[in-house]
A and B are shown apart, each in its own frame.
Chain A
Amino acid sequence: MRLPRFEYIEPINFEGALDLLYIHKDNAKVLAGGTDLLVRMKKGLLKPKIIISLKALKELSYIKKDDSYIKIGARTSIADIIASDLIKKEACALFEACEKIGAVTIQHYRGTIGGNILQDNRCIHYNQSAFHRSGRQPCHKDGGKICYARDASDRCNSTCQSDGATALMALGANITLVRKGTERIIDLDNFYTTDGIMPFAMESNELLKEIVIPIQGGKSSYKRLAYRSAIDYPIVSAGVFLKSSDTSKNEIEDARIVVGAIARAPIFLAKASSFLKGKKFNDISAFKKAADISMDNASTFAVHNVGSTLEYRCAMVSEMVFQALKEAAIVTQE
């Protein structure tokens, strides 16, 4: 498959990139590793006139500790994150998620964490060649008015399959978005829209600069399911964060449960999370209950559009959450 024609620009600094985005706006697309963008372009899903490459912006590639925060530059490669002891220790869920992204070739060669969060939602009816999508009505995400994944749906139900986003949301991360002249910080929780067509609240002239993870002294874990052991997007995933109380080590003070690859965005499950507060770390039945609540709450969003069967994926929400909670609890106890 061929890439459509485009103009390629490689700004030499961050300001230059912002200027270009300011000028070209919707006509331009940012290229980090390209492992999501170029695949979509080859399928004819988007045809940007201008590609603004972050290739020269080495300053966007870093992992550092700053007080009680981990700061990660948007252009940091997935491989660098996997190799970071800091991440492994303080943000294990992110480490586990990154390990599962694509395959080593995607991790070390091109894929970045910024691109991972900002990759487009996916759907087996949409991520197809132009030929596949011809001879039938276009779906919502393709500029039409129907949805092949859910009958009579008035909107797009494409699925966010980003491993990184689910883990980062569980870790309570926020991101820094910059446009010429201004900068804003937004929690990942609030970053997502409920629109499968444009899944996140981001302007076309904005650049993702940094991801910030608070170090809260808790433990996190990430579990996901796919058919293969590599080169396979998750069909369901869960990221969790557990923190013990200062007074009693065996008591959960704070919990965050996020499930991914099941809906238009990673879903923070408030009810399941708060259910765990005050529970004991060795209370397996509480984990089971939280996992079931997660499944009940998350399933309503799921549609059959990323492989396997819907029933199976929904059932596995509970299993992934349960496994992740168990693992986070075990490392907390160690």
Chain B
Amino acid sequence: MSDYAIIGKRMPRVDSRAKVMGKAKFTADLKLPGMLVGKIKRSPYAHARILNIDTSKAEALPGVKSVVTGKDTEGVKWGVFAYTRDQEFIQTQKVRYIGDEVAGVAAVDEETALKALDLIEVTYEELPAVFDSMEAMASETELIHGDFPNNINVHVNIDTGNVDENFKKAHYIREDTFVAPEESYFQAEPYAIVARFDHEDCLEIWCPNGGPHMKSKPLSNAFKIPLHKVKVRKIAIGGAFGGRSEICPVDYICALLAKKTKKPVRIQFTREENTIATRQGHAMITTHKTGVDKDGRVLARETTCYMDGGAYSSTGPIATSVPFLSMEQAYRMGSVRYNGYRIYTNKPIRGMIRTHGRGFAAGLDTQLDMIAEHIGIDPVEIRLRNSRQPGEYTSTKSYVDSCAMDETIHKAVEKSRFKEKWGKLPPLHGIGIGTNSVQTGFPMGIRGGSQSFIKFNEDGEATVMSGVVDNGQGNDNMLVQIAAEELGLLPEDIHLVSADTETTSSDPGSYSQVSTFVGGHAVKIAAQNCRAKLFKVASKVLKVSPDKLVAQNRLIFVRDDPEKSIPIKKVVRISLLNFNSVNAEGGYWPKVDMKREWVKNPYGQMCEAFSFGTTIVEVKVDPNTGQVEVLEATAAQDVGYALNPLVLEGQFEGSIAMGGQGGMLTEYHEWNGGRCINPTMLDYKLPLACDMPPKINNIIVESVDPKGPYGAKEAGMSIAMSAAQAYSAAVSNAIGVYMDSFPLTPDKILAAIKSKES
């Protein structure tokens, strides 16, 4: 066991109490003096030219303070990358999906704002629309974006070479295609934003976000104001899952309305808007072709994936890559060729999602199981023969330092008694395994590193400043734990100032699993620097050299003679009286290959560490209804080092809910043309607590990464993804049919059972 005082301990999160008691304030709870209500006018057509927008009646309505349209935006466009700037904040020429923004209104109350929306008259000329990526590529009707032929938005091509040669050497080759429709994040908190311009023309913003600095920079560009004038404030956030990592038109519109009216404006999305007008997960059609040697080792793989990207680019290049990257990290592939195509369609915009490519990953694992069956080994064995090992390079040339993939497999197998159960379960019972890996960050250029600042207060407590945002996963707690550990304080002595762009330095944001690895690391270094200052002063008082000192439990004491001690509070006061500063800063920049780029150069060091996870699930299928009962789930993840096992277990269980129970059994969107017909929580079948498996075994595996803070890497996401794979494998195993269309709803399962019988 470690000799940490706070790190590694089961500690309830610092934010839980306020949330459980209903006291935490979310954006929709904010009320500012004179605040107006903003609403968005959206396109009811999937593809149409805007002929005219008449706002005069809306403007004349008493209580309406401002109406904005594309004319007010000065033509600024949004896109995460310079080469993907394809979205006007408010459309001026045409609309590309049902929900596209055409105008914004600010009024004294919601009723008036809604009335005003009805009074805005937009004349459209409807255009033919496409709702399927294959159709969109072949379509001869007007392109969704004129400058993207065949409606292909992004093409990621990765080729390690030798693929064709290695296929020739293969003992056995399979090619299979897997499909999955789009899914939604269903963050517990629907999107909301409050914006105001203060007396110095600074823009202040409160909204759920995946990184405040990722919001401030594009907004400063859009409004052509200096960066320091955009102040994204901290607020409680009810979930992100990758869907809130960039700015979206409503951020701009809300700020624009605030600017025009000189009043604070709040826009609060309905559940339907949160589903259709933020981001969704991509629908995918994936073909994996795999060639193995006689032992089942993969010699060559070719994967082609068509992703329905919806109307705009969003984080397209990233989302087109990550499903593949996760798999190339998890498995050795000999040689591989990947072609990922993100296709524009007239559907809502797709972005990054925590369960990146559920059909992609489940397909790859299903195919491995098929191959294992063919060559006569079990699913565990084929994974062990292809699993990533420490000290290797991935196919795209990232060095993998710490890696306990095999240990996650072994431990999950042992705990679930996979070997005893495989092939011996009663009819319609099944067990399945999935393994996956995710990165801790990716090259993000100027915002790739995080910096922290710590100040001691006279009372011996400390204030920690960090750009890291907590959008539900426990980042605030992580920062507090690290600071308390390093400073020798208790968690309640640490006061966080975080996720505020005015007071904190830049940070990559809390997506791509980078918060602990980079943001937490920066806090650790800042705290160590701060502690060094205290030790310098304490060493004079205690008359020992600083390297003999330890800080713990609000005391600084001599390691070999703990009786010799001094309270930290006293050291702070002595420092100040002797003109010594008790503040410090620290920063962390992961050593990644800055030349790596998603499309142009998808090779080189991606990030410094990768997490690895294995999920095993045991199910029982009702042959009469096709319904699946999950008996037990076992999740094992190499998290590097567990900073707080309690939080990790929460992440694991949430991951099983999102990736497995929901992602593989019930969640998908249904459409009527471009209309999403299940946008609400009633119709979109998120699992409830009572739907969850009765037993979940959480296994924390620690490879102690040499670069991660305390050896920590990432928690949860490789479970979310491997859970999808395990659920599908278990169902396939139970019914004796390899499933290729996800999620595995009862109708599909029943049809598979019937077709097998006949």
- Residues of chain A touching chain B, judged by Cβ–Cβ distance below 8 Å, are 1-2, 5, 124-125, 128-129, 131-132, 134-136, 148, 225, 227-233, 307-309, 311-312, 315-316, 319, 323
Asked if B213 CB lies within 8 Å of chain A CBs, one says: no
Closest chain A residue to B666 by CB distance? A227
Contact check: which of A1, A124, A323 meets B270 at CB < 8 Å? Answer: A1
* Complexed CA–CA distance, A1 and B271 (Å): 9
- Majority secondary structure, A binding face: loop
CB-CB contacts of B687-701 with A at 8 A, as 1s and 0s?
110110000000000
Which A residues lie within 8 Å of B43 (CB)? 135
* Complexed CA–CA distance, A319 and B679 (Å): 29
Asked if B2 CB lies within 8 Å of chain A CBs, one says: no
Q: Is the pair A131, B44 in contact by a Cβ cutoff of 8 Å? A: yes
- Majority secondary structure, B binding face: loop
Q: Give the shortest distance, in Å, between B677 (CB) and chain A (any CB).
A: 5
What are 27 contact pairs spanning A and B, CB under 8 A?
A2-B111, A2-B114, A5-B111, A124-B670, A124-B678, A129-B272, A131-B272, A135-B43, A135-B45, A135-B98, A225-B625, A227-B666, A228-B685, A228-B691, A230-B690, A231-B682, A232-B685, A233-B682, A307-B670, A307-B678, A307-B683, A308-B746, A308-B747, A312-B746, A312-B747, A316-B625, A319-B624
Asked if B672 CB lies within 8 Å of chain A CBs, one says: yes
Closest chain A residue to B44 by CB distance? A135
Q: Is the pair B44, A319 in contact by a Cβ cutoff of 8 Å? A: no
Q: Is the pair B44, A228 in contact by a Cβ cutoff of 8 Å? A: no
Task: Decide yes or no: A131 and B42 within 8 Å by CB, A228-B688, A316-B625 being known contacts.
Answer: yes
Which B residues lie within 8 Å of A228 (CB)? 666, 685, 687-688, 691
Which B residues lie within 8 Å of A124 (CB)? 670, 677-678, 683
Closest chain B residue to A148 by CB distance? B672
Which B residues lie within 8 Å of A309 (CB)? 747
Closest chain B residue to A236 by CB distance? B625
Which B residues lie within 8 Å of A134 (CB)? 44
* Complexed CA–CA distance, A230 and B685 (Å): 10
Q: Give the shortest distance, in Å, between B99 (CB) and chain A (any CB).
A: 8
Asked if B745 CB lies within 8 Å of chain A CBs, one says: yes
* Complexed CA–CA distance, A132 and B666 (Å): 23
Which A residues lie within 8 Å of B547 (CB)? none
Closest chain A residue to B271 by CB distance? A1
* Complexed CA–CA distance, A308 and B624 (Å): 16
* Complexed CA–CA distance, A68 and B626 (Å): 41
Which B residues lie within 8 Å of A307 (CB)? 670, 678, 683
Q: Please name the 7 residue pairs, one residue from A and one from B, whose CB atoms are nearest each other, closest first.
A: A135-B44, A312-B747, A227-B685, A134-B44, A309-B747, A124-B677, A229-B690
* Complexed CA–CA distance, A128 and B683 (Å): 10
Which B residues lie within 8 Å of A128 (CB)? 677
Q: Give the shortest distance, in Å, between B272 (CB) and chain A (any CB).
A: 5
Closest chain B residue to A323 by CB distance? B624
Asked if B704 CB lies within 8 Å of chain A CBs, one says: no
Which A residues lie within 8 Å of B688 (CB)? 228-231
Q: Give the shortest distance, in Å, between B271 (CB) and chain A (any CB).
A: 8
Asked if B110 CB lies within 8 Å of chain A CBs, one says: yes
Q: Give the shortest distance, in Å, between A314 (CB) and chain B (any CB).
A: 11
* Complexed CA–CA distance, A229 and B688 (Å): 8
Which A residues lie within 8 Å of B42 (CB)? 131
* Complexed CA–CA distance, A132 and B277 (Å): 12
* Complexed CA–CA distance, A323 and B625 (Å): 11
Contact check: which of B110, B670, B682, B690 meets A2 at CB < 8 Å? Answer: B110
CB-CB contacts of B72-100 with A at 8 A, as 1s and 0s?
00000000000000000000000000100
* Complexed CA–CA distance, A5 and B114 (Å): 13
Q: Give the shortest distance, in Å, between B606 (CB) and chain A (any CB).
A: 38
Q: Give the shortest distance, in Å, between B739 (CB) and chain A (any CB).
A: 16
Asked if B750 CB lies within 8 Å of chain A CBs, one says: yes
Q: Give the shortest distance, in Å, between B237 (CB) and chain A (any CB).
A: 22
Q: Is the pair A312, B750 in contact by a Cβ cutoff of 8 Å? A: yes
Which B residues lie within 8 Å of A231 (CB)? 681-682, 688
Which A residues lie within 8 Å of B272 (CB)? 129, 131-132
* Complexed CA–CA distance, A128 and B750 (Å): 30
* Complexed CA–CA distance, A323 and B627 (Å): 15
Q: Is the pair A315, B750 in contact by a Cβ cutoff of 8 Å? A: yes
Which A residues lie within 8 Å of B65 (CB)? none
Q: Give the shortest distance, in Å, between B754 (CB) and chain A (any CB).
A: 9
Q: Is the pair B691, A319 in contact by a Cβ cutoff of 8 Å? A: no
Which A residues lie within 8 Å of B746 (CB)? 227, 308, 312
Centre residue among A135, A230, A233, A308 by max chain B CB count within 10 A: A135
Which A residues lie within 8 Å of B745 (CB)? 227, 308
Which B residues lie within 8 Å of A311 (CB)? 747
Closest chain B residue to A227 by CB distance? B685
